[in-house]
Amino acid sequence: MWTIYVLLFAVYVRGQLFLQEAVNQPGYCEGEHECHSHDDQTKIHRAYSQTSNVTNTTNHSMDLFKVSCQKLIESFPMDEVDGDYVRTVKNCVFSRSLPAPLRAPVTLAAVSKSVIEDILDLDIRVTQTDAFLHYVSGAELIPGSIPLAHRYGGHQFGYWSGQLGDGRAHLLGQYTNRKGEIWELQLKGSGKTPYSRAGDGRAVVRSSVREFLCSEAMQALGIATSRAASLVVSEESVWRDQFYDGNVRKERGAVVLRLARSWFRIGSLEVLSRGGELDLLRKLLNFIIENNFPAIATEDPDKYLVFYSTVVRETAHLIAQWMAVGFAHGVCNTDNFSLLSITIDYGPFGFMESYDPNFVPNTSDDQGRYSIGAQADVGLFNLEKLLESLQPVLTPSQQQRAAAVLKGYAGLYQMRFHQLFKAKLGLLGEEEEDGNLIAFLLKMMEDTGSDFTMTFRQLSEASVQQLHRGGFTQVTWALHDLSSHQLFSDWSRLFLLRLARQEGDNDEDRRHRMKSVNPRYVLRNWMAESATRKAETNDFSEVVLLHDVLGNPFIAQDAAEDTGYAARPPLWGRRLKKYGELGYFHPLLPQGRLSIRGSVSESLC
C-alpha cells in the first residue's frame, strides 16, 4: 500500500523529491535628487483616506515614532567604503546607503491598517500626515534610522551568481513594538545601493502593487510572510523593457514599506562561506540564532546543527502551505529563501487557477525550474546549499547528522502536505486510503483543468445531499467542470463514504471546517492586473478593495462577489502572461520563450 500511495502522491507533486546534490536628519538630498520639503504641499497627494481633521497629537504620532540600527551596526563590521557606486564588497554584512528621494510628486496609494496599528503601534490617522508620507516614500529618514543595504549572494536558477545584495532596498532600522516584537523596516524601490548592479534601484507600480497586496493576502491565509505597510506611487519615470523584446517603455516609480522579523536569507550565509569569511559567518549565525531562534541555547555546542534542523523542518512546512493554496513563488533562488522560513521577495509569483502541476508563474523561467510542482524539489536544493554553507562551522560528526536531517526533508514535506490536504477535504482521523482519495481528486482536477481554489471552496460549500445528487450548474462552475470527468461519481462515492465514517461529525461542522481552510478569494493574476491598470491612472480604488477582500479570504463578501472575484476568470485574464515582475497581456506579444535568467531588475530585492 505504501508503494501505491507514493506512486499516487507523485501524481500531484510531479515526482518524488530528489535527494541530491547614516545619517539621522529630518531631510536630506543625494546628488542630483531633490528632496520634498514639508512646505512642498502642492506636490503631495493622498488617495487612501480613513478620516479627516488629523493632528500629530495622538498617542502614536510620527513625532514619537523611532527605529534603531544600533544592534545591527554594533554586531557586524560595516562596509568601509562609502557611496552607492556598484562594487564588490568584502568582510561585512551591511553597507551604509541612503535612499534616493523620488524626484516627482508622490501619492500614498494604500496602507495596511493591521500593520500600522498592530505592528507599528500607530494610530491609522497618522497615515494622513505629511510626516508619514515623507518617511514611507524615502524623502526623509525616520528618527533613529541609519539606512543599510544588506550584502548577500545566491544560487539563481541552480547556478552560483556571486554577490547579489539589496539592489533596490534600504533597511531603515528595527522597531520594537509594545508586544516586544522586533520588526525590521525596509523600503523597496528607494534607489541605488552598492548592490544594484545594472539596475536603477527603482521599482515600478505594477510590481509594487503586487507585493503590497500579496504580502497581506498571504498573512490572511495564515502563511508566514513579510508584511507591507504602505504603497506610494510617483510621477517619476522609470524605464523598463517589460517584455524583454527590446522595447523600453516609460513606467511610474513606486515604493513599498515592507517589514519582516528578519531579512536574512540563505544567500546571507552563502556569500560569507564561499568567500572564506568564516569568523563573520559564525558571527552572523550567532546573531540570527540569538535574536530569532529563542528555543536554541546559545551555549549549545550543537546550536548550528539544531538551527539547520529547524530551518529544514520549517521550510518543508512553508512550501507545503504554499501548495495548499496553489501559490507559486516564481523565483525560488537561495537569495529569496528566508532563514526564518517566511515568504519574502514577491516577484513573478502566481496563484494557480486551473490545476496544473507544471504551472509556471514566471514566463522567463524557460525550463520550468520553479513550476508549482517543483517547489518542494527546489526547497531541497536550497537546503543543500545552506548545508554546504554551514560545513566550515560544523564538526565531522555534525556534518553527518546534518546530512541525515536533510534526508528527512521529503518525509516532513509529504507529512505536512498530507495533513493540509486532508483538512481541505474535511477529513478527520487517519485512514489508509486517504492519500489515494487526495491523489484521485487532484488527478481529476488536472484532467479537467478545474480551478484549484474554487474546486475546494465549492466542495466546502456543498452539502452532502448536493454531492449525492450531483448535477452541478454554472453557479458552482468549478464543480461543474470537475464533474465532467468520467470518474467523478466514483470519487464522490468514496469521499462521501469516508465522511460517513467520521464519528461524532456532521455535515454542518464539516462544511465549517472546510470553509475555514479553503479560501474563496486569492490574488489571481487578472485581479492584480486590473488593480494595476487603474493605479497607473491614479485610481487606487481596486487596490484598496482587493486589500480589504483578501484580508478576509475565507468569508464571502458582497463587494467581492459583485466584482467577480469568485467567478470564472475572464477570458482576457486567462491570456495574461508573466514577464519579469508582473503578468501582462499584449495581443502582439511574441510566443517564444525567454532566457531562464530573467532580467537584472527583477532579481534586485
185/148 Cα distance (integer angstroms): 11
CB distance 580 to 150 below 8 Å: no
478/444 Cα distance (integer angstroms): 12
CA 419 from chain centre, in angstroms, equals 22
17/92 Cα distance (integer angstroms): 36
Catalytic residue flag (residue 335): yes
DSSP at 52? S
499-502 long-range contacts, Cβ below 8 Å, gap at least 24? 499/426, 499/427, 499/464, 501/431, 502/427, 502/428, 502/429
CA nearest neighbour of 90 among 167, 161, 165, 196:
165
Return phi, psi of residue 421, to 5°: -75, -30
439/542 Cα distance (integer angstroms): 37
296/300 Cα distance (integer angstroms): 7
- Angle, in degrees to the nearest 10, between helices 396-407 and 409-424: 30
Looking at 433-536, list the stretches that DSSP marks H as alpha helix, in order from N- to C-terminal side: 434-448, 452-461, 464-469, 477-482, 488-500, 507-515, 525-535
CA nearest neighbour of 169 among 185, 183, 147, 186:
186
Three cell numbers at 159? 547556478
Residue type, 294: P
Check 335, 345, 451, 481 and give the catalytic one: 335
Q: Which residues are catalytic?
A: 335
